[in-house]
Amino acid sequence: MSEEERGPRVVAGVSGSPGSLAALRRAAAEARRGGAELLVVIAWEPPGGDFAHRSALSPLPMATLRLDAGRRLLAALDTAFGDTGPGVPHQGLVVRGTPGRALVETADRADDLLVVGPGCRGTLRRWLFPSVARYCLAHAVCPVLALPPSPLSRELASVHRRIRLGLPLDARELTEDRS
């Protein structure tokens, strides 16, 4: 089947995080709206990378790591949609590689739509794990829909930060409308 004969596609990456589940739900909504197929991608790599995996005394077999990624993909689909599914034709793809590269290589047609979540942000995390959304925006050949973090996730991060730093936390602040 030629590329022109295939229908439109919406590609979403999942990791199981709340942000990736929000991106998955949004991608399903975009696929329904545009009559597109939904491709759900989970990327995996050996812990510590290939070199560390080869150097380990007793590394896990690659098939086990891939199977675990497949289970996490199914769990993310179940968490996002339950028994009803996304309501559009869909495929789950388990791709070996970094998340950004896996998504960009999957969304390889100009008429694809790539949907990414906000990811986990923090100074240390940003340094250790570059933003998947930024990678996709810089390298994708198709439109990229990058979801912003939800206000609730920002509030939750603020509470976690205050607890971690041992700062006082007034529960009344949590119930006030901050819009």
Taking only the tens place, the pLDDT of each residue in 37-91 is: 999 999 998 876 655 445 555 556 778 889 999 999 999 999 999 999 999 999 9
pLDDT digits 0-9 by tens, 96-132? 999 999 999 999 999 999 999 986 665 555 566 678 8
| pLDDT value at residue 81 | 96
CA distance 119 to 41: 15
pTM (2 d.p.): 0.78
| pLDDT value at residue 6 | 76
- Closest C-alpha to 24, from 138, 118, 125: 118
| pLDDT value at residue 138 | 93
Give percent of the chain with pLDDT exceeding 70: 79
| pLDDT value at residue 124 | 57
DSSP class of 17: S
